[in-house]
Amino acid sequence: MKKTFAILTAGLALMTAVSCQKEASWADDGTPEIYFTPAGISEARIWNYDSGSYETQIGVNLCGIRPANQVNSITVSYAVDDNIVTAYNNEITNEFSGNIVALPSDCYTVTGTSVTIEQGEVAAKIPVTFNTKALAALEREPGKKYVLPLRLTGTTMHNLSSDENLTTL
């Protein structure tokens, strides 16, 4: 009986220690930030879609706070910003300079100018629709890489990430 009690006590102590450790790893870090989801940034060859349009979403995340502690809705503003392409082309080598081009506006539709991270959530999605027929017309200019330059421009709560690589896309 004493052996069983000792095993149960040791097991209970271990479970308590593990559960406390897990809770600590989920603690808010005190500096929540909003940024584009890096895993959601990718190169897509979408002109092969025959429907005429391709719908996708770009993720916006809130880090540094647990979903349970996120008690307010947060509005995050964004905008298409061709200056991102200009800055990028100015920074890269001459070999690639000018090959990165902002998509013409008839090639896409970015819905709205803001998205809401709802109470209890830590992410939201920006809806984007690409016009695949307009994109197909761009294939006549080989060697150019087209991008949709987006920038997070503001938030109603917390800060945007201080890393510009996470607030521009």
pLDDT tens-place string over residues 89-137 = 887 766 566 678 899 999 999 999 999 999 999 999 999 999 988 888 8
| Cα distances (Å, whole numbers) of residue 109 to 58, 117, 134, 146 | 13, 21, 12, 15
The pTM for the full model equals: 0.75
Structure tokens at 133: 């027929």
Q: What is the DSSP secondary structure assignment for residue 104, as one 8-state letter? A: P
By three-state DSSP, how is residue 44 classified?
A: coil
Residue owning tokens 């990430």: 161
Mean pLDDT value of segment 12-21: 37
Which tokens sit at 156?
């109603």
